[in-house]
Structure 1
Amino acid sequence: MATAAPHVMVLPLAAQGHVTPLMELSHRLVEHGVEVTFVCTEPTHALVLGALRLRQATVDGIHLVSMPDGLADGDDRRDLGKVLDALARCMPGYVEELIKEKKVTWLVADANLGSLCFEVAKKLGVRVASFFPASAACLGTLSRIPQLIEDGFFDDKGVPKRREAVELAPEMPPVYTSHMLWSVDGGPEVQHVAFQLVCRNTEAACLADVVVCNSFLEAEATAFELFPDILPIGPLLADPGKPVGQFLPEDTRCLGWLDAHPDSSVVYVAFGTSTVFEPRQFRELGEGLELTGRPFLWVVRPDFTSGAGISKAWFDEFEGRVAGKGMIVSWCSQQQVLAHRAVACFVSHCGWNSTMEGVRNGVPFLCWSRLKVDQYTNRSYICDIWRTGLAVSPGEDGVVTKEEVNTKLEQVMGDHGIAERARVLRDAARRSLGVGGSSYENFKRFISLLKE
């Protein structure tokens, strides 16, 4: 008699950079005969469904399920302290209910939620895979927190005592004490809450049967040598056209627009879902792109500028000036854009998904890290270790000028060494995913484990 397919519950943190790789992983699991229930908090679930409806798309083989996030309708979901407190109160109970109701055999959960769900799953006899959506270097560094506190880099609340870089090993990005994963916006209290969560999640990791991450061996050889328990199965990707849980509706016109351009001619500019620019910085970026005289595709979310935002008159005039040269969209399928032959350079905030997507397609980077968390580590990989891009340099007032944007773009796009190294890394990524490659073999091991 045939054995029943394993039933996996996939649980991402409620942020685009966490939902996307876990949705990509879910598609791969379904392809290998695994039943997947994909669980988001209600507001995230509504965004994903809304974007799917607008595309008239469906997620084949994946059951999309929601759970409450513990907040009321009027609560501010950008208040990290409030969000984490609510999740801590309600998530374990809902996870337990869903595991029982869906008869789940494995939980594949975001490592950032480990302390809220791993123990519940284990108590119910469900095996656990911890999925880390950022680099192995970042995950490995978290396991060293007790040592870093002992060595005097931080106090027991995660506050830096020494303002310097910590280098765990050569060929690994240095980690700055002021740029740790708990270095979030919101003041000391919120940072302390984030630090406590990081510590609890790191402790909870010992409950996982396996730890996987969206990276590949050749990208982070030293990190995987130092932390051999982390299993790289990336770079994750879904087949073109398969939805990856976007929160915003995609403007597909840009793909046709790219078709009309020569190979390696277009600058692609996108800063993820969280980056917000001051109006002056927004103008400098736009005018810098204009200065290059090159075609560009720029993703400008509706909430991309702070305060009163950009005046409609300035924006209309700017769009008029660049018409025919630049295309501005509110959101797009980044996976398809970066895979397009016309794209020559990626101006990026250096989130790990964006980094892996750029690497997988051999696209050189202009790095513009805006947040803390892991973006500085990723920028260090790109600029110092892989040497597949350059970083912008803000002036003394913190603003990156249009002249700097223009100069750095010309440098990146004119540097044959950067282009060649990006191609070499792309080929290594593709080999790792091909039959017999390191990520291919690791993924086979992972599937075998799920089917035990």
Structure 2
Amino acid sequence: MTESKLEIVMFPWLAFGHLIPFMNLSNELAKRGHKISFLLPKNAEIRLEKLNHYPNLIKLHKLTIPHVDGLPYGAETTADVRGSLESLLATAFDELYDEIKSFLQNLKPHFIFFDFAYWIPDLALEIGGIKTLCYKVVCPAISSIALIRSPVKTTFMASTAAELVKPPPGYPSTTVVLRESEAKLLSSLFHEYGKGVTFYERLKKGMTGCDAIGMETCREIEGTFCDYIATQFEKPVLYTGPVLAEPTKGPLEEHGLSDWLEKFQAGSLVFCAFGSQMILEKKQFQQLVLGFELTELPFLLVVKPPQGTNSVEEAFPEGFKERVQEKGLILDCWVPQLEILSHKSVGCFVTHCGYGSMWESLALCDCQLVLLPCSVDHILNARLMEQQLKVGIEVEKDENDLFTKENLCKAVKCVMDKDSQIGCLVKENHMKWKELLSSPGFTSNYIDNFIKELHGLLVEKI
């Protein structure tokens, strides 16, 4: 049974932060001979096609995302819409129900992997013969805090920040938690995210109804959180380990970055990237760029234009561009993050602590880490990295969750100063975790065990 090949459908949420991890896992499964049908929006095909290393086994099936009033025409992923419109995109996503039902009825795969499509478990039961795995590509800490904590009697909004910040009963950690000012961010979980469903309901229903929960993590780092989730949802939690794409050499030349990076001494440059969805307010953007200037170190910043602006240059502080033009480069386009992190000139990575960036920084680079999270799940990732793993320094914020140029500069200097005790400590810890995560067989063993557990689920009566 364990030698038989699986047929799996991948149906991730319409965001590249979900599509890419699902593709990375698809490659690992296809490498072992398993067949994948990958469901994705049309406008994501070009980017995902480049990441498909086994096109003979991974078949991309393009979906036509229905138009919903209020969405820009042609919007198919979160990269195409403002955050305020994501709920409408989720409505369009849910309207794929009939198309997905027809596809599954015709294919009859062994498994469908999903994350935001909370209706998949019921659909699979209706069709019969299909197992469902809710595959989480965010930190288990957010699942164990936000999804286990049910809203109190009236509404979540009626709770005080002090109540929300208190860990739920049996929670496995006292360090990876939110401060009172940050706990207010959890209120967004109870806003509508799709027609007639909140974000909280969408995630919890999927995890409650599925046959098993998959986690893109390893037991050595987040095992206690996964054990807690398994206990609360009373179902198996399967580990894939951190599934990452391998860096390549070509993209730096394609983007014209190679020559620019070569100008600087080894380990001297600060690289900052905030992902495809994080958009700063203009004042925070200005504090960010002024903070890098204050370090007096060369820097490469990749960031979206701030709110209310059409370009990053439009938001530059007066005289900033002229002052930093020799050693500062700011881009608002996609760049090959892994290849940049692997470049010898990069000595510090200022990260928003997205889950993919967290694993890339831990397992694939030698840079010193400075943590600057904004959303609730990224904050929890930062707490894990600073307080439990002790591999980076989080930028200090005020009571309104805002950072200053001085505090950003202070954090960068703290890890980059060769005489800094904290800098030496986080570097030593980072190297220990990198050695483990990149050790021979570490990733492949997790994937092999994951596949064995999938076969085990098939043995159970469907």
Give your verdict on TM over 0.5: yes
Aligned amino acid, residue 183 of structure 1:
S
Aligned amino acid, residue 108 of structure 1:
F
Aligned amino acid, residue 205 of structure 2:
E
Q: Which residue of 2 aligns with 1:417?
A: 425
Q: Which residue of 2 aligns with 1:81?
A: 87
Task: Extract unaligned runs of 5+ from structure 2.
Answer: 73-80, 231-235, 418-422
Q: Give the TM-score normalised by the residue count of structure 1.
A: 0.81
CA shift in 2, pair 1:52/1:9, >3 Å: closer
> Structure 1 residue 163 and structure 2 residue 161: aligned?
yes
Distance 2:309 2:63 in 1: 33
Q: Which residue of 2 aligns with 1:46?
A: 43
Q: Secondary structure at the match of 1:190?
A: coil
Corresponding residue to 1:402 among 396, 405, 413:
405
Q: Secondary structure at the match of 2:187?
A: coil
Q: Conserved in 1, the CA contact under 8 Å of 2:217 and 2:242?
A: yes
> Structure 1 residue 8 and structure 2 residue 8: aligned?
yes
Q: Secondary structure at the match of 2:61?
A: strand
For 1:303-339, what per-residue CA distance to the aligned partner results, in whole angstroms no more than 9, with x for missing partners? 4443465554958964443334233332212233234
Distance 1:216 1:143 in 2: 20
Distance 1:322 1:263 in 2: 19
Measure how far apart 1:381 and its partner are: 0.8
CA shift in 2, pair 1:420/1:75, >3 Å: same
Which moves more between the two structures, 378-387 or 166-175?
166-175
User: Bigger relative contact order, structure 1 or 2, given CA contacts below 8 A and separation 6+?
Assistant: 1
Q: Conserved in 2, the CA contact under 8 Å of 1:366 and 1:392?
A: yes
For 1:94-148, what per-residue CA distance to the aligned partner results, in whole angstroms no more than 9, with x for missing partners? 21112134443321112x32x22122123222111210011122223345234xx
CA shift in 2, pair 1:123/1:379, >3 Å: same
Q: Which residue of 2 aligns with 1:323?
A: 325
Q: Which residue of 1 aligns with 2:75?
A: none
Measure how far apart 1:236 and its partner are: 1.0
CA shift in 2, pair 1:250/1:407, >3 Å: same
Q: Secondary structure at the match of 2:374?
A: coil
Distance 2:137 2:284 in 1: 29
Aligned amino acid, residue 30 of structure 1:
A
Q: Which residue of 2 aligns with 1:23?
A: 23
Measure how far apart 1:33 and its partner are: 0.8
Task: Extract unaligned runs of 5+ from structure 1.
Answer: 244-248
Q: Secondary structure at the match of 2:10?
A: strand
CA shift in 2, pair 1:37/1:181, >3 Å: farther
> Structure 1 residue 219 and structure 2 residue 216: aligned?
no
CA shift in 2, pair 1:430/1:448, >3 Å: farther
For 1:228-248, what per-residue CA distance to the aligned partner results, in whole angstroms no more than 9, with x for missing partners? 5322222111233499xxxxx
Which moves more between the two structures, 313-322 or 73-82?
313-322
Aligned amino acid, residue 66 of structure 1:
K
Q: Give the TM-score normalised by the residue count of structure 2.
A: 0.79
Measure how far apart 1:10 and its partner are: 0.6
Which moves more between the two structures, 413-422 or 71-80?
71-80
Corresponding residue to 2:340 among 321, 337, 341:
337
Which moves more between the two structures, 314-323 or 337-346?
314-323
Measure how far apart 1:19 and its partner are: 1.3
Q: Which residue of 2 aligns with 1:240?
A: 247
Q: Percent identity?
A: 22
CA shift in 2, pair 1:292/1:33, >3 Å: same
Q: Conserved in 1, the CA contact under 8 Å of 2:191 and 2:199?
A: no
Aligned amino acid, residue 132 of structure 2:
V
Aligned amino acid, residue 252 of structure 1:
H
Q: Secondary structure at the match of 2:96?
A: helix
Distance 2:23 2:185 in 1: 23
Q: Conserved in 1, the CA contact under 8 Å of 2:185 and 2:375?
A: no
CA shift in 2, pair 1:58/1:205, >3 Å: closer
Distance 1:176 1:432 in 2: 38
Q: Which residue of 2 aligns with 1:246?
A: none
Distance 1:35 1:242 in 2: 29
Q: Conserved in 2, the CA contact under 8 Å of 1:365 and 1:382?
A: no
CA-atom RMSD in angstroms: 3.6
Corresponding residue to 2:136 among 123, 129, 132:
132
Q: Conserved in 2, the CA contact under 8 Å of 1:121 and 1:127?
A: yes
Aligned amino acid, residue 208 of structure 1:
C
CA shift in 2, pair 1:227/1:281, >3 Å: closer
For 1:423-451, what per-residue CA distance to the aligned partner results, in whole angstroms no more than 9, with x for missing partners? 112223224952785x3553342564588
Q: Which residue of 2 aligns with 1:292?
A: 295
